[in-house]
Structure 1
Amino acid sequence: MKTYSFAIVLIAMFTHSLPDTGMEEIHAAAGEVMPLTFAIPLENAEGIRAEIADRVYTAIQKQARYLLGTLHPWAEDETLMLLTESRSGEHWIRPNTGTVAGLMFLYRFGLYDEAIVGLPRPVLLEQKILPMLRYLITTHVTGTRPTSDGKPWGDAWQSAHWAHMIGRACWWIWNDLPADVREGIRRVVAHEADRIANSEPPHQIQNDTKAEENAWNAQILSVAVLLSPDAPNRKKWESDFQKWVISSFLRPADEQATAVVDGRPVSAQFTGANIYDDFTLENHGIVHPDYMSTFSLSLSCVLDFVMSNRKAPDALLYNVADIYENLKWFSLPDGGFVYPSGQDWGLFRNPDWFGPHMLMATYGGDPDAWSLAMKSLEALEKMQARSPDGAIYLSEEYFFASTQTDRLYSLSLAWLALRQSLSIQDQPTEKNGVRRLDAGKIILNRTEKAIHTFSWGTKIMAQCVAHRLDRIVSPHQRNGIGWIRLQNEEKPLPAQIHDISVTNDANSFQVRLTLHHGDGAIRADIEYQSNADGRWQMKEKLTALKAIAVAEIATGLIGILNHPHWIYETGERRVALDGQEHMIPACSGILVDNDSAKEILIDDAFSIHSAKPLSLRYAGATKPERARATDELFLHYDGQEKTWREGEVISEYDVCVICR
């Protein structure tokens, strides 16, 4: 019988003597909160880890400087401060809670440099942190005033997540908080914690997992114990914390699992599943690597236990290693992920994954995690170097309101995890070959030069991504398929699988696919072949299933990234068609049509070969969409209105793609 435990991972942290850490000495909190007695072993850190911690801390300070520049007084009370408009929803509360939590981290921990941040620590507390906290306390449902939209924040689907940030960070600096802030924060946290404790964790596998929601709701229960250890609800908060944590990443097979977690078989704790049996999960209607990383929300609560000298529940690691194993197969050299089913968030989220990797390096004991974290950190530093004000992301690279502020908070947690770890395994192994995930309906093949993926679930998508810093290929959700549009219609015909076969061995896979564009309109017979040597073959034959009038055929799509300022791109693509070069500046909207080329070469790094002439189009993007600029290369393009008879072959192509 398998047993999960943090004992081995954390034993050294709990038993070593506390060093003399100088300005890093941690306060012994007032009796009304959980004592914060764990010191950061700066003197015990290995040289490389100390160096990385310093780099992370510098990045936090720079990001704080940028965010401090966006702070302003509340129009209704100039003694209170915030980053955003004053409104009660997620996009106006979460940025503020994440920012002030990160500022509290800087106030308490690390070798603070006021020249980087822009103001001394005492001023940071008195003129920034306290006015922000008082705004958030005042406008919560337990406070005395609404936000400027006439409603207070709180009691919302995500408000426990927002509240845990300020609650945890207030615990870090408790001795320096005035009485009104202490009372207000404890009230906010207890209210949100009781709301979660009095509800049951939801479960859903298809389309919209509840894994992330359960993980973020668990956090408030941990923080409530930190702030109110003598509360009559403490035992319920603790037991419900464990329940919400283990509920987050259960899979159907866990209903029969005999593994013992926190003293009970998993089967006895099973309330429903949120992930597939192959440890993939769906959110936003796709198998989504980003949401597979949300184990970090609950796993970060290990810090609460380490820093208060308590044993963390074993549930925090349940199924996490297997989920993370999938993420390692999706990882790219630039610190990001390959997206077999597409990416509906921003693509350049490379810094976001530093936190999950670092938590797996420090608390998960994963030998690959450190090297993956370093790739994310390198990308973060290159991104931050572009902005004199310290911002990690350029405005064109994100559209989610909390993108910049979440990084301040998550980097703070990662720094604490790194500084408190006494040993980290750094023994990475390259992931090569085929990984097939049948529940998620994804297969991928990692080779030296390319990563091939195919998805046949909610999204039908095939792609060959360059295995290099410049991935070249964008996760366009119509990659490998494209579209067909009928005359007098604005939208393309829906593509549906009629028949499919996916076969593989250890180092290659083959897909035979019959698609119908529209309801019995056009049949696409498609083959994809992923080869061990990195070659990617694509073959398509279109046949009219009935007499039909077509306005546009744009198939064999390959999305080509061409972003103006991305750190691993040049701001233009050089496209050679049978040796004739075309320069395509980012967001230029340039169109290149060609009906005779047999060879396509992009930046001397991505080549496409055909035995017969292709009727192709390269369409440059005019602007970023979903925070990335994607040019579109169609291996077969015909924009003229035509009619086709039933049974008539419309087009065929057969190409080989090679990443150099």
Structure 2
Amino acid sequence: MIAYPPLDTDSPSFPSEADLVQMMCRHVPYIEQYWVDEDDEYGYFGTLDENEFKPAGGPINEMIIRSLGDELRGYAVLYQSEHYDASVAGVDKPHLLDRLNRCIRWICAHHVSGARRTKPFEWDGQWGDDWESSLWVADIAMAVHQVAESLDKNVLEAFYRVLAFEGDRFVGVDPPDGRWIDTKEEENAWDAYLLAWSYCLLPDHPNAEEWLYRGKLFAMNTFTTDRDRVDTSPFDGRPLKDWICTQTAHPDLTVENHGSFHPGYLGCGVLLLQGRLAFQLTGRQPPPHYLHHIEDAYDVLRRFFLFNGFTAYPSGQDWTYHEPDIQVQHAVMFEEFGDRFAGHILWQNLKYLDESMRAAGDGRFNARMPCASGGRYFQFETGIMGLLGILVIAGIPDFKPISEAEFRREQIGTDDYPYVWLQVRRSKQGLFSFAWRSLKRQVMGMVVPAGGEDTLGSDQDAFVGRFEVEGERLKPHPLYHNDRTTDRGFSTTGVIEYADGAVRQSIAVVALEDGETSIVIDRAVSDIELSVNEGFGLYIMNDFVNDNRVTISFDGGRRVVRGVGGKARVIETDSTWIKVAGCLGIETDGLQLLYEDAAERNSPERWKNLLQDRIFLRHQAAGRTVRDYACVIRQGRAGARRVGDGVERVKTDDDGLRAYRFRSLTGFAVVVANFTSTQKTIEIGGASVEVLALDTVVIQE
């Protein structure tokens, strides 16, 4: 393990080009171990053996070519950089150029316009003319442009052949349309990215003007809403609506991919900015089309930023957790649009990247991922090299972090995203959310308290828990829900079915307006025997970011739970309350809270690049009733200190009503949930309270 000296993040110059190049140099010895010499002219990084891909599976052409394009961008930057440190990288600059020449030559020879064929490339031993090959070729174009004067002539000629071929795929082609489930915005963005580089590097090609026009068209159709299709304001010589042939986003600019709202895809505007960079680097004025809705989409994305630079995924995450988010888009939003939040996020992520590399100690960027010579893990590593390269190529503005108080103050407010069935409360005490349609058609909640951004995570069954029959997890099917949102809080009340209606769960989730307190009320009945019935579910990251340990305390005990390398177990607290990392408190109306110590990385399901422990409840059935409880959540350090006063169930005369009294930031509150289909009246403190059908009310005492 290499003990890299930490970057000086306290320096006024951090992050500088020298800082980024230093991290890239650390990576070179790691990637060099995977170099393969085919002969004196050809070579590549990684493996072509699918059996060595980690994790197994994945689109073969993407796994290989995309990874190489990212790595080559980094090598091109290092070759040109005055800050290159051969003593850290272990190779000299001529070695870098040799890799660039041989690898680009190898890539182009295996393109469908070339002559070589090698297994396991999917198109009869070749690649190209693919749904994502625009992205791969545009990435390589940036590397080629960076070192064009130094590359062998036959390498340049081969690449320009590939670039023209991929650009010609879009002659006379309109952008594809897609809004629900699988937005087409990222595909249109990377096609616009390619067309920009095709035009800028081959301006004398017979189809160059067509590439320019199609690039504008695909850029305009990256983020589109229904309003764009009726917008008659002038844009580049015609009504804006005449540029639009798609709808890729909902009216509030949320986008769906992999089945539901996915914040990461709001960041695909970075591909348009990388296309725009082609014009800037070649001395041309970028068309304004490459900025269409860029700022608007980023404004939605930034609502999910956390103070430490991470992004919250309140509808679930099926990519790896917490890849260092060092996209050039943050730099552009800071420098050109004056968004200090963007600069803060990039600063925090570069700091995190340095910490991650030092935790790995072997040249990997992401300490949470295993070494791999192929597959997604390999691709994600090379991807960071490419992103660092883009930042250096584009130039690093002078951004700095903002204060925690300023960050939290600006994020205050509640957002309702009706098209994706999501509500989010942001306050000085943190983030709290609930989604009725998350990835894989799940239902889930999320809580990230202030001070717990490195510790509190989430997964697809958070807040709703798990039902299993004979080892098989039952899938939720939300029937209906009633949502209410105010400026500072929200409530949602609904019904979920499992196993074709054999299990029926009524659940209410309320984020109080005090910004600190929330409650989950869960009542479930079942007509089948359940082998697992675990309620609530709250996830705790326990990894190197929080020093591989989490402190929990409960009535009568305190534990320091070790993360990776610990002992897998379930800690029975014999307590109705628990505090996590000093910034989150949870309290039930009588059930014991249990803490599942995972001991090894376990999420997301496919990638397993993050260790998440879990807090949950176990229930004893009483006839058909298999759950009947309330759980109060308090965010922030002050909120955690308020745990221990108890959660009192208030007696009701109607079995369809549930009422609970508990302490909030501003005093005591009573929350009443009506799980029936008719309006109900309940007596609370001598007063009659009306509760609409399938609704929840909050009474502050």
Q: Shorter chain as normaliser: what TM range?
A: 0.7 to 0.9
Aligned with residue 71 of structure 2, among 63, 74, 99: 99
C-alpha spacing 1:107/1:467, structure 2 compared with 1 (3 Å): same
Structure scoring higher RCO (CA < 8 A, sep ≥ 6) equals 1
| Structure 2 SS opposite 1:245 | helix
| Structure 2 SS opposite 1:230 | coil
Root mean square deviation of aligned Cα: 2.7
Correspondence 1:228-239 to 2 at 5 A? 228-239=202-213
Q: CA deviation at 1:579?
A: 3.0
Q: CA deviation at 1:600?
A: 0.8
- State the alpha-carbon separation in 1 of the partners of residues 19 and 233 from structure 2: 40
- State the alpha-carbon separation in 1 of the partners of residues 160 and 392 from structure 2: 25
Q: CA deviation at 1:362?
A: 3.1
C-alpha spacing 1:650/1:109, structure 2 compared with 1 (3 Å): closer
Letter in 2 for 1:140: H
- State the alpha-carbon separation in 1 of the partners of residues 399 and 511 from structure 2: 39
Correspondence 1:409-420 to 2 at 5 A? 409-419=386-396
C-alpha spacing 1:656/1:606, structure 2 compared with 1 (3 Å): closer
Correspondence 1:205-604 to 2 at 5 A? 205-349=179-323, 351-394=324-367, 396=369, 399-419=376-396, 430-457=410-437, 458-468=441-451, 470-486=453-469, 489-544=470-525, 547-563=527-543, 566=544, 568-587=545-564, 588=566, 590-592=568-570, 594=572, 596-604=574-582
C-alpha spacing 1:121/1:594, structure 2 compared with 1 (3 Å): closer
Q: CA deviation at 1:341?
A: 0.4
- State the alpha-carbon separation in 2 of the partners of residues 362 and 425 from structure 1: 14
Cα deviation code 1:71-103 (max 9, x no counterpart): 2213xx354221122376111111112111221
- State the alpha-carbon separation in 2 of the partners of residues 302 and 363 from structure 1: 13
| Structure 2 SS opposite 1:301 | helix
Q: Which residue of 2 aligns with 1:14?
A: none
- State the alpha-carbon separation in 1 of the partners of residues 512 and 93 from structure 2: 57
| Structure 1 SS opposite 2:354 | helix
C-alpha contact 1:137 1:184 (8 A) present in aligned 2? yes
Cα deviation code 1:455-512 (max 9, x no counterpart): 12344211211233644222201111112224xx332333222332221221111222
- State the alpha-carbon separation in 1 of the partners of residues 573 and 155 from structure 2: 70
Letter in 2 for 1:63: H
Q: Which residue of 2 aligns with 1:132?
A: 103
Q: Which residue of 2 aligns with 1:62?
A: 26
Q: CA deviation at 1:234?
A: 0.7
Answer yes or no: is 1:608 the counterpart of 2:586.
yes
Letter in 1 for 2:416: R
Q: CA deviation at 1:337?
A: 0.6
C-alpha spacing 1:628/1:397, structure 2 compared with 1 (3 Å): farther
| Structure 1 SS opposite 2:316 | coil
Q: CA deviation at 1:237?
A: 0.6
Q: CA deviation at 1:392?
A: 1.1
Q: Which residue of 2 aligns with 1:33?
A: none
Cα deviation code 1:387-431 (max 9, x no counterpart): 444321125379544211111122222223235x69999997631
Correspondence 1:154-233 to 2 at 5 A? 154-233=128-207
C-alpha contact 1:139 1:152 (8 A) present in aligned 2? yes
C-alpha contact 1:212 1:294 (8 A) present in aligned 2? yes
Q: CA deviation at 1:602?
A: 1.9
- State the alpha-carbon separation in 1 of the partners of residues 29 and 336 from structure 2: 30
| Structure 2 SS opposite 1:181 | helix
Q: CA deviation at 1:443?
A: 1.7
C-alpha contact 2:471 2:531 (8 A) present in aligned 1? no
- State the alpha-carbon separation in 1 of the partners of residues 626 and 442 from structure 2: 26
- TM-score, scaled relative to structure 1: 0.84
Q: CA deviation at 1:649?
A: 6.5
C-alpha spacing 1:572/1:302, structure 2 compared with 1 (3 Å): same
Cα deviation code 1:357-399 (max 9, x no counterpart): 1132234443421122111111112112224443211253795
Q: Which residue of 1 aligns with 2:623?
A: 644
C-alpha contact 1:584 1:590 (8 A) present in aligned 2? no
Structure 1 residues 439-448 or 291-300, which shifts more? 439-448
Letter in 2 for 1:509: F
Letter in 2 for 1:105: V
| Structure 1 SS opposite 2:42 | strand
Q: CA deviation at 1:146?
A: 1.1
- State the alpha-carbon separation in 1 of the partners of residues 584 and 353 from structure 2: 26
- State the alpha-carbon separation in 2 of the partners of residues 339 and 423 from structure 1: 25
Structure 1 residues 197-206 or 391-400, which shifts more? 391-400
Q: CA deviation at 1:354?
A: 3.9
Letter in 1 for 2:70: G
Q: CA deviation at 1:650?
A: 4.1
Answer yes or no: is 1:80 the counterpart of 2:62.
no
Which segments of structure 1 move beyond 6 Å, counting only runs of 4 or more? 421-428
Structure 1 residues 574-583 or 448-457, which shifts more? 574-583
Letter in 2 for 1:66: Y
